[in-house]
Structure 1
Amino acid sequence: MLISVSSTATARRTPSWFVLWMGLLTALILLCCLALFWQLAAEGTFPLEVVLWLAIGVLGAVALLFGLVGLLRYRAFFYSLISPVIIGVFVVLVWQNVPETTGWKLSRDILQTQAADCANPGHRTRLGVYTITFITRRDGGCLFYTQGTETNSSRGFAYFPNAAPPYIGTPTSGIGYEPFHGNWYRFTEES
């Protein structure tokens, strides 16, 4: 006599609405992360960065809520965990300054070429990933002003091929330089 043992607990199939909803949330989160990566790499505007961080936070919270439902009700591990993993990886990349480093690596050569002439084009221009608002010679170097995030200060990159700039440190008024990469410095100019 054969005894058949049947499982009383049958696995629930993940509903298609859940798969589509989590796919949409994941796509939106990925799109916001990519847009914020670009903004951080290109030193974009502060308000847009804030909006993108908020969007990632809100979408992440919604994805986490539905992900918990998916884990508990449908045992849908992949669909439930993909969004938090994407956000986690993105936060680690930002923490390690990967967007800023990527922006610099993509822009360094063209900035180096432009620093030889140090000529202001007379209008906003894009050099590499950076939007440059003004180029000028100052303190023995070539300064590239990037689009600023604050109204009372300007910032950018400075190239000093022969000697260090006259003032290293944060300015109380005027301009201050910080070592960046080789003959390149970051500067902040208080107005």
Structure 2
Amino acid sequence: MNPQNHRTIDIIQSRNSRFMRSYFLSHYSKKARWSVKIVVVDLFEPYRNLIHELFPKAIIVADHFHVVVQAYRALQSVRLKVMKEYGANTHEYRALKHFWKLLMAKEGQLDYLHYYSRRNFEHARLSNQEVVERLLNFSSELRTAYEYYQDLITAISHHSQALLDQLIKRNNLPNAIRRVKRTL
């Protein structure tokens, strides 16, 4: 795809490395391949190896969709870790299991106007936003992962280089989130 006008240049028939190598070698000269400056791809490992081989001067940039997916999975991983730490027969485990979708939602889209009786919180009347806050109080590691995920999706949706730069500089992150940070 042409990044300037978003027009499709070609659709390659296979993800197979051998096929792709053959395709690029037969369709583009060495000079053309060496003049490529940026290649945007998903995080599929064989792609990166192939790009280094065929486009040696290109910078590899991860597709933002795949970075968000990786962050989503990392937040889920931290949530599951916290659940296991509490144990299956605890209030915290059940709450984290039941309300997982609220943790994955965009923070700005959480309902804070409507209150519902929440059996996981002794039938307290809570908004979705208040439920998320209570879930985050279970673990500082979960809170850190959640805030990083929320900042990442905000940075990408607002095309904020400044916020992305802050995310890159952030330290003291859970292991799962550190892997996401390395893709930025």
Tell me the TM-score normalised to structure 2 length.
0.24
Tell me the TM-score normalised to structure 1 length.
0.23
The higher-RCO structure (CA 8 Å, 6+ apart) is 2
Q: Whose helix fraction is larger, Structure 1's or Structure 2's?
A: 2
Q: Whose strand fraction is larger, Structure 1's or Structure 2's?
A: 1
